[in-house]
Chain A
Amino acid sequence: MQPFKKCFFWALCVLLSTGPICAANDRLVIEENQGKALLIYNIAKFTEWPAATASSDTPFNFTLWNDNALADAFQIIEGQEMQGRKVKINRQNTDSIAVDCQVIVIPKQQLQRFIKARDELDKLPILTVTTEPNVFEAGAMILVKVIDDHLAFSVNLAAVKASGLEISGNLLRHAEEVKF
């Protein structure tokens, strides 16, 4: 074998053989928005809504404010079952508040809109989840974020309880921060 071909051949072999080594690092890889959608879906699984809020034949509604990229990622859970109901994803790009939903997802650059809606939202059994720390500080119940290369979340338990919702202790022990 000529030196050039020999060099290429062995370089290829070494590189291909790194595949199993990389595979040993067994972490699932997920795109950020998809990961956030799945985490919010999981958090909702560990949340209890007041019993009288809806019947089993109505959809379980996730409403997303002004973030089409995140809303696209939520398609992965559309149609899944949540507490005996089918998950439905709603996009809301107007300033009105969707009262007929169980979870509202508040993306970045929506702080002013959240502050305006906050008083009304506080009276409703709606889980407010955000990806923006300022919105969490302003009173949203859950903050979902990426730290380094993994997902994490914080819980504002006082806000959760004030709206009549219950969050499982099994969820809280995974939280990075719980505000009481």
Chain B
Amino acid sequence: MLKLAQRYKSFKDISFYRHPIDIVKTIKNYLLAYLFLAMGLSAFGQTPPVDLANMSLGDLLNAKIIRSYADHAAFKTGGQGAPLGYLDSSRFHFSTSYVKVRFDGYMDGTDDLSFGEVLWSPEDEPRTDENFPVVPTVITQEAVQFKVAYDLTEQWSLSLSIPYIRQETEHITDNNNFDPDFKDFTIVSEGFGDIEIGATWLHRLNQNSSILVNLGFSLPTGSIDETGDTPSPGRDNQLPYTMQLGSGTYDIKPSIVYSGTSGDWTCGANLNMTLRTGKNDRDYRLGNVYQAGIWTRYALTDWIQPSFRIDGVAWDEISGKDPALPYDPINDRYPAAVVKPDNFGGTKLLALVGLRLKDPRGRLENTFLEFEAGAPFYQDLNGPQPSEDWRFSASFVLSF
């Protein structure tokens, strides 16, 4: 058992280095994407910033006037850190973002658990609520979200966002009690998630600060019927909650964001909630999510703005249970933590650093590219539950 535990403690490292070619390919892809970015920005970079006070009358009368603070499109399209104002002429705001979150390891409360501690070995230990015959090890969630916002009036706008999600989970099982094919195995689910529509109201407090209130509704368009090969009898078994693409319920998503600027600094705070309604067709409801964050961004130059953010997230356990997932009602046992509804929910605090790149000439005021990466520094999970390792996001916001 000790040997097994030691082996699984080092599993993280093994899995990370398992596909060096994939890593090289990924780096290559991002370098190519950066090249496109550099090409775009180089077109912006050929004119120095304008001295506004010495503009000619002709240039001034030809200028495009926006009725807003500097970063309002980021606000409306949900750019990370969500800042500011109203664009009178640029009524359409389009954003696309890529988010990747990696879970690696387990926690019960605030205690770290090794894979060996979570994996049940029948020969060595009794079955309890704390161990399982199947253990997901590394969970990777990726999402690309496309979002369009349209300004109805100076204060009101509507938005529509469509996520495309890919999830991958690696598993280990006890060697002696499973088919060799399932000694370790990986399952993948992929497809469109829940579409969200929203209405946003902007209230300008003064020249330098504003509040934005958003009421979103998430529609159950994402699949909750994802299947795959698992150690359960038969093929195409229902996958765990973590591998489904949608919630299956109509969810209400209110949020409020405050943003203020002072010189080169922009600061803000936000509160977001996801409130589930009813139960889905599989007779369960995911937990509500409550998120609060504070952030600050510094304009290092006109077009490079690093940022720092602290996020707090609390989410509830699952209510109800998917009857298609494996469960032993006699002993009240589940084969894996990710199919046990009680092993969801918890709280965590994350620290994230970001970098926003804008048009150096200031002519595309509400268009920018933003990167952000961070990790939790505190997690208290209803466990045993997979714990988050790190996350990364890239967003591009375009107004026209």
- Residues of chain A touching chain B, judged by Cβ–Cβ distance below 8 Å, are 1, 4-5, 7-9, 11-13, 15-20, 22-23, 26-35, 38-39, 41-42, 46, 68-69, 72-73, 76-77, 80, 146, 148-152, 171, 174
Q: Pick the 5 closest A-B CB pairs, nearest first.
A: A19-B40, A149-B89, A20-B43, A16-B36, A27-B64
Known A29-B362, A174-B57; judge A15-B396 contact (CB<8 A).
yes
Can you name 16 A-B residue pairings with CB atoms under 8 Å? A4-B142, A5-B26, A9-B33, A12-B98, A15-B396, A19-B41, A23-B40, A23-B363, A31-B70, A32-B88, A68-B206, A68-B207, A146-B65, A146-B67, A149-B65, A151-B65
Q: Are A80 and B69 in contact (CB under 8 A)?
A: no
Q: Are B65 and A4 in contact (CB under 8 A)?
A: no
Q: Are A33 and B33 in contact (CB under 8 A)?
A: no
- Residues of chain B touching chain A, judged by Cβ–Cβ distance below 8 Å, are 25-26, 29, 32-33, 36-37, 39-41, 43-44, 50, 52-53, 55, 57-70, 85, 88-89, 96, 98, 142, 144, 164, 166, 190, 206-208, 359, 361-365, 367, 369, 394, 396, 398, 400
Known A17-B36, A150-B65; judge A12-B57 contact (CB<8 A).
no
CB distance from A98 to the nearest CB of B (A): 22
A138 to B67, CA, bound (A): 26
A19 to B396, CA, bound (A): 11
Complex: chain B residue closest to A71, CB-CB: B207
Which of B64, B69, B96 is A28 in contact with, Cβ under 8 Å?
B64
Interface core residue of B65, B164, B207, B359 (most chain A CB under 10 Å): B65
Q: Are B65 and A35 in contact (CB under 8 A)?
A: yes
Complex: chain A residue closest to B54, CB-CB: A80
Q: Are A12 and B96 in contact (CB under 8 A)?
A: yes
CB distance from B146 to the nearest CB of A (A): 8
Q: Are A29 and B364 in contact (CB under 8 A)?
A: yes
The interface residues of chain A lying within 8 Å CB-to-CB of B363 are: 23, 26-29
A29 to B62, CA, bound (A): 10
Q: Are A76 and B68 in contact (CB under 8 A)?
A: no
Which of A9, A22, A42 is B398 in contact with, Cβ under 8 Å?
A22
Q: Are B207 and A149 in contact (CB under 8 A)?
A: no
Interface core residue of A8, A19, A26, A27 (most chain B CB under 10 Å): A19
CB distance from B210 to the nearest CB of A (A): 12
The interface residues of chain B lying within 8 Å CB-to-CB of A171 are: 57
The interface residues of chain B lying within 8 Å CB-to-CB of A80 are: 53
Known A19-B43, A146-B88; judge A29-B365 contact (CB<8 A).
yes
Complex: chain B residue closest to A170, CB-CB: B57
CB distance from A128 to the nearest CB of B (A): 20
Which of A5, A148, A151 is B60 in contact with, Cβ under 8 Å?
A151
